[in-house]
Structures are given as C-alpha cells and as structure tokens.
Structure 1
Amino acid sequence: MLCKFINRAGQLLNINALSNEADIAYNTAKEWLSILESSYITFLLQPYYENRNKRLVKTPKLYFYDTGLLCFLLGIRTDEQLLTDRSKGNVFENMIVAEHQKALYHQYLFEELYFWQDSNGVEIDLLWKNRDTYFATEIKATKTVQNDLFKQLDKFQSHMSPHAVQKVLLYGGNESQRRTHYDIVSWKQASNGLYFTTR
C-alpha cells in the first residue's frame, strides 16, 4: 500500500483511485493515510480557494517529510540516479515544501501553507498570505533560469488582481537574485529555512 502513496508524492491525492488500485475499501485507505500522517511520514498540503470561484481545485496534495525515505522507496540510491530519474521534479518539489513545513514547526510560526490550481491547469506550487500580500512560489528543479518559468506566476497574478502578489521562482541553481517583478531563490537558501523566515 505504501508504494501507492509513494507514486503520488507531490500530486493531488485521489483516495478513491488509490483504494481501487490497492483493492481495498475507501475507509481503509483513509485510515492508512491517517497512520502515515500521525507517524510524521506524510502530510497533506491543502489547496487555497475561495467559495466564490468554483473552478479551483479543492483536493489536497500528498508529500513526505523525509525525501531520503521517499527516494529510497522509489528505488533511487545515488545522486546521479536522481538526476536522471523521471521523479526528479516531484522529489525536488517535495523537498522544498517539506523544508518550508519544518521551518514553520521549528520556529513556531503559525502561517498556513497552500498550493493553488485552477481547472485550466494553472498552478502555484506553494502559496501563503501575509496581511494583504500573496506569496506565490513556483518550484523548479532546473539549474537554469528561463523566461518561461515565470508563466504560471504571471497567470496567477492576473487571477488575483487587484491583490498584491509577490512572485517567487525557487529553483535548483545556486544563486539567488532579485528582478523587477520576481524573486529568484536558490534551493540552498530554502533548504536552510532562511527563505521562509525572511519574507
């Protein structure tokens, strides 16, 4: 059963599909998921939505607290193997989201983290709100910053207008920089907790 959860790391959690694949009852799948959550093996990232917009996804996404465990269960044993594995993007996203969650716990910050996705597939990987500003983060494993990486952030801003949106690209490169409309943040800054706590 655990392997069924592994394949959904960083993805929308469909318990009906999960129970059908594992050939178990829906309630059994929910109970097993509850055990994984209470054991701090997995956690759910809830979608951000407002009732006035019914076209938004309202299903949570599943993540693992320990990406080392996730890689082991996926059969990934070396750095080199991870770099070429088709799960690389999901593992990277999982790591970033989990590090943000841990930073909140460790520093007693009571911010709620979300993701956002509409019915057209426009998605923000990580989202939180501070006063009147939305902090929208696109997470990409690539080490190269290209203009098309900002498309989802720009689409999200158009959805949220006239609210203020701070657009962040968190990527697999080593250098952070500030551009006119975006913050570009290295995974290293995010992994040590500085990214979240300095916003």
Structure 2
Amino acid sequence: MIHRDLSPLLEASASRFPVVTLTGPRQSGKSTLCRGLFGHLGYVSLEAPDTRDFARNDPRAFLGQFEAGAVLDEIQRAPELVSYLQGIVDDDPTPGRWVLTGSQNLALLETVGQSLAGRTSIHHLLPLSRGEVVRFVQHPTTLEEAIWSGGYPRIFDRGLDPGEWLASYVATYVERDVRSISNVTDLVAFQRFIELCAGRVGQIVNDQAIASDCGISQPTAKSWRSVLEASFVSFRLPAFHRSHRKRLVKSPKLHFYDSGLACWLLGIREPGHLRSHPLRGALFECWVVTEVLKARSNRGEQRGLSFYRDRDAVEADLLVERVGGGVVVEIKSSATPNSHLFDGVRRVRELLAGDENVWDGRVVYGGEAEQTRSAGELVPWSRVHEFDW
C-alpha cells in the first residue's frame, strides 16, 4: 500500500495523546493505515460478531487482553468500550497506547467526545487525494478518468473496475450503514434519495425540492441527508458570511466526498460519458473542492472552507481562509485558458478587499497549462495537489 499523507500527523498525535481516533468512510484505508503505522500494538476488529459480543458482555476482560494497548477497529460497533477505556487511560496515560477507528462520524464523535475529552486527538481519513492516487503505477491520466474513478484505495491497489467496485460498495456498505444509523425501512426510496442528492452536487442544499422529487417529507429528507453525512458520503460546504455585505446567500452547498461514487449514482458508467454530461462542471467542482478538503484535512485543518455567493449573483466556488485573508477559487472544467476564467475571482476579490485582508486568486481548470496572471494563478487540474491550500 502507498504512503498516506495523513501518516505524519497520526504519528505526531500518537506521541502526545494516549488515544488516537481515526474516522472516515468505509474502505478509505483506515485499518490498513493503522496496522501499518502501529504494528507494535495489538489489533482487533469489532466487525466480527463473536468479538463484538465479548467486548459488549465483558468489556473489562476484553480490554484487559491488551496490556500494551491496541488498535480497536470499527469502535462504533461497541461504543460502550470507550467509557471503560477512559479509566484505563486515566490510570496509564502513556501516549500512543490506543488507536480507535470508526466509519460513522457523528455517532463515534459523540461517544468519544463525552468519554475521552482531552485524552484523544481526532482525525479523518478521506478517500485518496490526487497526490496519493498518482503514487500507484496505474492511475488515471485524464480529467475524466480522475473524476470517474474517485479515490477509494482498493480500486487502485488491486486494479479493479471502478464501476463494478462502487456498485458493490453501495450495496454492501452504504445500505448496511443506513440500517445501523437510522431506522430507514424503505431502502428503494433511500436509494432514489441518494441518486437525487448526487444529481444536485455543487448546488445549494434544498431539502424541500429533494423531498418533493423523492416522494418523502421534508423532515425525512433532512434526516436522510444527515445519514449520508454521518457515513461520510456527502457533506455541506458552508456559505461565506464574514463580510460587510449583507446580501450574502446563507444556505450551504451539497458535495460528495468521492466523485466516483457520485458518478456511479448518476449512471455514468465510463469516463467518456463525462465529456458531454450536463453535470460535468458540477462534478469537476466537487472533485476540486474535495481535493482541497483532503489536503487540509491531512494537515489537521478541518475548517476554513466556504463558498461565496450574494444576491447580485456574484460568486466564487471556494474560499480558502488563512490568517489575514485567503484564496478566492473559481473552478472551471474548460480546458482552454482565457481571461474570462478570472471574472468571478476579480469581482469577489474586490468585494472582499474591504475586509482589510489579503485575498489571492486562483482558477482551477480542466487544461494542462499553468499560468500566473495579474488576477491570480491558473492551476491545471492535474497539479491541484501540488499547490499550497
């Protein structure tokens, strides 16, 4: 398996905290990464029913097996272990003894936050970034292939067909997680709901519209969207609101953590279909946003991303905030460089100039040439991982 960009941060956390908690989507490589980094610790997966029963029925004896500590994989299957782990950690706070992994963000973080506050560092392992994908000998070389393939490690590690693997992923993991997170009885309707969400990638979240198209109530749509977020399928990109302008759009945008999964849900079965697909631009926007999200998450930065849109239709697909300013980012699937690509960047930078911060400009586009212009940098899609976000 390749080197993961999150590795240095996990190792640094293990040198300071007695517990390291790693969450992320199923099949994002959490188990492989932790077993590689922390091979000196014991390992146990709570997916196995007999192991899970032991952990639930006799947690003290279960944890007592691991005097030197252990990697407890899929800890959300036996969340009561965390309470017992608190006492063990308080008695022996040696850094790096325990590593917890889980694939249900909200459920796991709530449990860990209550019992291990101040005792654990929390990190997220997302699907592969472009920088990680290119470490495989066989990797996508065109924009369409990169979007369509997504970033789940097993696809590249074993040379699998992305479409076939993602079909199995949806059936095996997404539906199972749905049953464990929420009482969803109509899986057919839920499958339709996920597909509708994929069709709205890069758009303002509108639970009422999705509910109407899916034939469910708005509260149900909101609840199901929370399920997708809890299982790391989708996330909301917040709207930028720290501005002197008062006519800003406040609703978030909907994005998927993995563009390949969104493509499969939309019925895109080969990369070539993306060349003329009506959602090509939206899927490229999603791909770039998640690339920036991964780059920052792998450095331990979980906030600072938003988008800009006001009531006068001035917008930028992504704002990356830094101390004293940030970067205004426009995302264009066009492969041809031209000055009009920077129109949105110029306008938003002008509007944000009143905040007395320094905002740089970038356009990430579907071409290959890198350029530096007065309005900002033109970033080719294939080099997005090489830039400082």
Please state how far the C-alpha of 1:51 moved relative to its aligned partner: 6.9
For residues 119-158 of structure 1, the aligned pairs below 5 Å read 119-158=311-350
Does residue 106 in structure 1 map to residue 298 in structure 2?
Answer: yes
- Alignment partner, residue 186 of structure 1: 380
Please state how far the C-alpha of 1:50 moved relative to its aligned partner: 3.0
Does residue 40 in structure 1 map to residue 251 in structure 2?
Answer: no
Determine helix, strand or coil for the equivalent of 1:161.
helix
Determine helix, strand or coil for the equivalent of 1:139.
strand
- Give the stretch that moved more between structures: 13-22 or 86-95: 13-22
- Alignment partner, residue 9 of structure 1: 201
| Deviations 1:41-74 (CA, angstroms, capped at 9, x unpaired) | 1011000013753310001000111111111111
The structure that has the greater radius of gyration is 2
Determine helix, strand or coil for the equivalent of 2:261.
helix
- The counterpart of 2:309, out of the listed 113, 117, 124, is 117
- Alignment partner, residue 115 of structure 2: none
Does residue 169 in structure 1 map to residue 363 in structure 2?
Answer: yes
Task: Tell me which amino acid in the other structure corresponds to 1:42.
Answer: S
- Alignment partner, residue 57 of structure 1: 249
Task: Tell me which amino acid in the other structure corresponds to 2:198.
Answer: I
Identify the structure with the greater strand proportion.
1
Task: Tell me which amino acid in the other structure corresponds to 1:28.
Answer: T
Residue-pair matches, total? 195
Equivalent residues of 2:232, 2:257 under 8 A apart: yes
* Percent of aligned pairs with the same amino acid: 33
- The counterpart of 2:262, out of the listed 70, 79, 99, is 70
**Runs of 5+ unmatched residues, structure 1:** none
Does residue 92 in structure 1 map to residue 284 in structure 2?
Answer: yes
Task: Tell me which amino acid in the other structure corresponds to 2:261.
Answer: L
- Alignment partner, residue 275 of structure 2: 83
Identify the structure with the greater helix proportion.
2
Normalising by structure 2, we get a TM-score of 0.48
Cα distance in 1 for residues equivalent to 2:200 and 2:335: 24
Cα distance in 1 for residues equivalent to 2:342 and 2:244: 26
Cα distance in 1 for residues equivalent to 2:228 and 2:247: 30
Task: Tell me which amino acid in the other structure corresponds to 1:48.
Answer: F
Task: Tell me which amino acid in the other structure corresponds to 2:380.
Answer: S
- Give the stretch that moved more between structures: 98-107 or 5-14: 98-107
Q: Please, what is the CA RMSD of the aligned residues? A: 1.5
Please state how far the C-alpha of 1:142 moved relative to its aligned partner: 0.8
Please state how far the C-alpha of 1:109 moved relative to its aligned partner: 2.5
Please state how far the C-alpha of 1:20 moved relative to its aligned partner: 2.1
Cα distance in 2 for residues equivalent to 1:52 and 1:105: 29
Equivalent residues of 2:306, 2:318 under 8 A apart: yes
Equivalent residues of 2:241, 2:250 under 8 A apart: yes
- Structure 1 residue runs of 4 or more that deviate by more than 4 Å after TM superposition: none
Equivalent residues of 1:56, 1:118 under 8 A apart: yes
Please state how far the C-alpha of 1:111 moved relative to its aligned partner: 4.0
Equivalent residues of 1:111, 1:128 under 8 A apart: no
Task: Tell me which amino acid in the other structure corresponds to 1:187.
Answer: W
- Give the stretch that moved more between structures: 104-113 or 25-34: 104-113
**Runs of 5+ unmatched residues, structure 2:** 1-192
Task: Tell me which amino acid in the other structure corresponds to 1:179.
Answer: R
Determine helix, strand or coil for the equivalent of 1:127.
strand
Please state how far the C-alpha of 1:114 moved relative to its aligned partner: 0.4
| Deviations 1:132-179 (CA, angstroms, capped at 9, x unpaired) | 223100000111111111111111122112432201011111222222
Task: Tell me which amino acid in the other structure corresponds to 1:182.
Answer: G
- Give the stretch that moved more between structures: 43-52 or 138-147: 43-52
